[in-house]
């Protein structure tokens, strides 16, 4: 009888544990506002030569034409190296101004000096709206229109990192194209309407929203790709100076002394099998690489390196990698 009672209790505990786990895994509705402080969008752009991205980052609230407006800093991010952090360059290329009214977003057209409708966060299938972009150009048609009427083709619920979002898709048969729009976030393929590729085959523009972040939601990655153990979003958004000195999140490795003078010791805290260690300077040049190392703990002679900041990549047998920075003095 006692064994039966224990069995029943264990079964109930297991069922309760599974129920709690399932409940905790349920996505939650994202009710955070549009463009709070810290709001940052990173979009990938078409490029045949190197990885190129556009970052739009909230700077401050301001007023244009008596309209309360969000001022965004527009920056270009490019990578010229093989690794995702190599040859990273970020430059401010201008400013954009967006305004919210009645659950819709408007974009300030600096050429026409007026606000144009950009997108709504709660439309219905079949709704139409006029969008425009005075900056677009079709190289094969000088008369290509800069304004067009788009319509909502479908609505759906999307889940990103356990958050629920309402979204809708826009028409693909017009001169201009916007793509899907995510509620309280924005365009999933481009921030502003652009020339629809089938209507002008020589045009090249945005591809997709890679990641978004703000002070309320934190960071949301829209890409499943990863590089050296980091999400694509993390590697694009951060520079070498923001890489950790040693493992903090997963406590994978301890690097000491850091700064290093002659020897840099690597202590494996996660019992992982090290396959290769590589060291790069801040320009992305390979300064050291070795496969003949202790698979658990290693010591690297760095006396040959000039004083300065370096990046060390620790590759493991399972295909994962960890990337840290260290100083040579």
Checking if the pLDDT of 191 tops 90, the result is yes
Relative to beta strand 163-170, strand 28-29 is parallel
User: 173 vs 119, 123, 134, 143, 170, CA distance in Å?
Assistant: 18, 19, 20, 18, 9
User: Rounded to an integer, what distance in angstroms lies between the CA atom of residue 296 and that of residue 278?
Assistant: 16
269, 254 Cβ separation under 8 angstroms:
yes
Tokens of 158: 């999307």
Segment 8-31 shows an average pLDDT of: 56
Q: How far apart are CA 291 and CA 307, in angstroms?
A: 24
Domains and CATH numbers, the chain: 40-237 (no CATH), 242-328 (2.60.40.3080)
Long-range contacts for 173-182 (Cβ within 8 Å, ≥24 apart)?
A: 174/148, 174/149, 174/150, 174/199, 175/144, 175/145, 175/148, 175/199, 176/131, 176/132, 176/133, 176/136, 176/145, 176/147, 176/148, 176/150, 178/119, 178/131, 178/150, 181/119, 181/120, 181/121, 182/158
Per-residue pLDDT at 80: 64
pLDDT at 145: 94
Q: What is the pTM of this model?
A: 0.68
- How far is 201 from 207, CA to CA, in rounded Å? 15
How far apart, in whole angstroms, are the C-alpha atoms of residue 219 and residue 213? 4
Tokens for 153, please give them.
């083709």
Which residues fall within 8 angstroms of residue 317, CB to CB, at 6 or more apart?
272, 273, 274, 275, 295
pLDDT at residue 137 is higher than 90:
no
pLDDT at 232 over 50: yes
Confidence of residue 238 (pLDDT cuts 50, 70, 90): low
* Per-residue tokens: 168: 């809708």
| pLDDT tens digit sequence for 260-314 | 999 998 888 777 788 888 888 765 677 888 887 766 678 899 999 998 888 888 8
Give 204's pLDDT tier (boundaries 50, 70, 90).
low
Bond into 259 cis (ω within 30): yes
The per-residue pLDDT for 46 is 78
């Amino acid at each position: 009888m006692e064994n039966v009672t224990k069995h029943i209790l264990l079964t109930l505990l297991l069922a309760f544990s599974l129920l709690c786990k399932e409940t905790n895994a349920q996505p939650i509705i994202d009710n955070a506002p549009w463009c709070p402080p810290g709001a940052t969008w990173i979009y990938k752009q078409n490029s045949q030569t190197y990885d190129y991205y556009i970052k739009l980052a909230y700077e401050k609230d301001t007023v244009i034409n008596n309209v309360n407006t969000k001022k965004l800093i527009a920056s270009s991010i490019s990578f010229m190296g093989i690794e995702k952090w190599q040859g990273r360059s970020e430059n401010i290329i201008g400013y954009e101004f967006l305004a919210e009214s009645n659950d819709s977003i408007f974009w300030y057209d600096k050429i026409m000096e007026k606000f144009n409708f950009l997108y709504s966060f709660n439309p219905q299938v079949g709704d139409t709206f006029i969008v425009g972009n005075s900056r677009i150009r079709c190289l094969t048609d000088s008369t290509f229109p800069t304004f067009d009427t788009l319509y909502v083709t479908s609505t759906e619920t999307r889940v990103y990192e356990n958050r629920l979002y309402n979204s809708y898709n826009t028409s693909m048969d017009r001169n201009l194209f916007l793509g899907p729009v995510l509620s309280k976030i924005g365009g999933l393929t481009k921030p502003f309407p652009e020339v629809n590729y089938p209507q002008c085959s020589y045009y090249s523009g945005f591809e997709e929203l890679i990641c978004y972040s703000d002070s309320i939601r934190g960071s949301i990655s829209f890409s499943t790709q990863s590089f050296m153990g980091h999400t694509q979003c993390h590697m694009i958004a951060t520079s070498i100076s923001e890489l950790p000195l040693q493992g903090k999140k997963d406590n994978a490795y301890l690097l000491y002394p850091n700064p290093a003078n002659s020897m840099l010791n690597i202590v494996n805290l996660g019992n992982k099998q090290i396959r290769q260690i590589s060291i790069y300077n801040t320009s992305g040049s390979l300064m050291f690489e070795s496969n003949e190392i202790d698979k658990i703990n290693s010591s690297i002679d760095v006396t040959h390196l000039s004083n300065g900041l370096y990046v060390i990549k620790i590759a493991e047998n399972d295909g994962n990698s960890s990337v840290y920075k260290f100083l040579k003095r």
